Structure 1
Amino acid sequence: MSETALDPLADPEAEEGAGPKEDRHFVTALARGLAVLACFGRDRRMLANHDIAEACGLPRSTVSRLTYTLTKLGYLHLVEESGKYRLGTQTIALGSMALGGLDVRQIARPALRAVAQAANASVGLGVRDRLSMRYIDCQRGPAAISLNLDTGSRISLARSAMGRAYIAVCSDRERAALYEELQAYDPLAWPALRAGLDRAVQEHREIGCCTSFGEWQDTVSAIAVGFRPGGGLPPMSVNCGAPTIITDGRFLMDVARPKLIEAVRGLEGVMGA
């Protein structure tokens, strides 16, 4: 399953310009610089200015100034032979510091690995990244075929089980703000998305998890449980999924769901949530 086949709402390109123009506290130049960095990924390791301009929807002259500044600061590195940029060492340092502060990854890893082994599936821990979910850890079962997702991967917030579980444990205020962003991004798709998210919130309350059987990708089945780890950390969610060719929704619900819920409740207890 390719990460490039993501839902548009999980596409970092689609979120450029999402900052509210009427918000006088919003710094557009900073947002544009961060959007440039967000263009890079596993399938886009080397980009030229024109690639970035197309991805961000910005003039090339603006992108040239942004890439020049980011290169000076060490967040980008210019490969002179190709005239293209790759992420610089400052982004590596920044990412390492951010992940290093998430002790929950080390605490959660044994439990995630146990669920992955028992369910013969992929189990991931994720946090929200704008209108996406970002994997901060991933464990795999022994299956020969697994999802092509790993630490750092991004998936849809609105259509994935992981994203829905995140929304399910948000406060009413947090959820309302997210709903406004999703509606503003795609007003035409919003009514159907809203109905699906409302069902997911109710589902999480009633059966302890959210589901996405073929709704994020038609060949993927997944369930997820959201939780609030405490300690000043944002809400997170843990998913369990696999290609439908080896695992169906019934197996995930009957076998993986109780194990996943137990793992998350144990994690909450350890974190003191």
Structure 2
Amino acid sequence: MRPRKEPSKAGDTDRDFVVALGRGLEVLRAFRKEGETLGNGDFAARTGLSKSTISRLTYTLHRLGYLSFNPETARYRLAPPVLSLGYSCLAGMPTLQLAKPYMQDLANYSGMPVALAGRDRLTMVYLERCRGPNPVTLAIEVGAHIKLATTAIGRAYLAGISEDLRSEILLEIQEYEGASWPAIERGIYDAFESYAKYGYCLSIGEWKTDVNSVAVPFIPSDGSPVLAFNCGGAASQLSRDWIETDIAARLNDVVRNISAISP
């Protein structure tokens, strides 16, 4: 994966942007897998920041308790205070509790997992997930990130946001994907057309060749960030025909029911 752009670039035109804070958060965001440990060289490679800057940042984050440090391996891992921030975020999202019964009903009916996600840069991060009874299921848990551009849930998010923000994100995707962009762009605009006609977005073997999914955006009435719901699974279990003739309509019902009771 390409290194991220240095967050200091934002400070070039925004006098209120605190560069040091932005860089510290980039260090925390460098962790990508559960239980992962990173050294200062790993942080530098993933953030694009210099090793001397990384050394000061990791030292500070360790002193503040956000990173734990193993002196034998000279590697860091995320510490419990980071988790407390995540739980505070989830606790402040009433949609999660309102949505869960409806999500579980659809998961029970379809046998497939049903998830709720929000955007994190060019990915979607799972905020809630309900399992279905089918043992053949996707192993994606709360906190996991999946690509925004090729997944149904990412495309549904894009369909639900403002045109200005969508254009900005699409430019970022184009820059990031490079030569793959033309094919990805076709898939995204096909999803937009499906949403305009039928109210849902699809990803049929585009995120992973053996996975099909359908998703619908959730646009909170209080101005909170747009979220998206999906239902997805192995293509052998969740066919496009079943999605289009049954599951998509049920997922739309889930979103309508939640919208009706949301504050």
| Distance in 1 between residues matched to 2:18 and 2:122, nearest whole Å | 19
Matched with 1:196 is 187
Alignment map for 1:188-227 (pairs within 5 Å): 188-227=179-218
Quick one: structure 1 residues 14 and 148, their matched pair in 2 at CA, closer, same or farther if it must change by over 3 Å? farther
Matched with 1:73 is 64
* More displaced 10-residue stretch of structure 1: 36-45 or 195-204: 36-45
Q: How many residues align?
A: 261
Matched with 1:173 is 164
| Distance in 1 between residues matched to 2:241 and 2:19, nearest whole Å | 47
Counterpart check, 1:241 vs 2:241: no
Matched with 1:24 is 14
Counterpart check, 1:159 vs 2:158: no
Q: Tell me which of 232, 237, 241 is aligned to 1:250.
A: 241
Residue 30 (structure 1) shift: 2.9
| Distance in 2 between residues matched to 1:201 and 1:237, nearest whole Å | 14
CA contact (8 A) 2:96 2:128 kept: yes
Alignment map for 1:1-273 (pairs within 5 Å): 14-17=3-6, 23-25=13-15, 26-272=17-263
CA contact (8 A) 1:126 1:133 kept: yes
TM-score normalised by the chain length of structure 1: 0.88
| Distance in 1 between residues matched to 2:223 and 2:146, nearest whole Å | 24
Residue 93 (structure 1) shift: 1.8
Quick one: structure 1 residues 36 and 165, their matched pair in 2 at CA, closer, same or farther if it must change by over 3 Å? same
CA contact (8 A) 2:3 2:45 kept: no
Residue 202 (structure 1) shift: 1.8
Question: Once the two structures are superposed, what CA deviation does each residue of 1:114-172 show, in whole Å capped at 9, x if it has no partner?
Answer: 11111110110001111110100001101112111010011111110000000001111
SS at match of 1:188: helix
CA contact (8 A) 1:119 1:255 kept: no
Listed as ranges, the gaps of 5+ residues in structure 2 are none
* More displaced 10-residue stretch of structure 1: 86-95 or 114-123: 86-95
Which amino acid is 2:149 matched to?
A
CA contact (8 A) 1:49 1:64 kept: yes
Which amino acid is 2:159 matched to?
A
> Share of identical aligned residues, percent?
35
Listed as ranges, the gaps of 5+ residues in structure 1 are 1-7
TM-score normalised by the chain length of structure 2: 0.91
Residue 53 (structure 1) shift: 2.2
Which amino acid is 2:21 matched to?
L
SS at match of 1:232: coil
* More displaced 10-residue stretch of structure 1: 159-168 or 44-53: 44-53
Which amino acid is 2:59 matched to?
Y
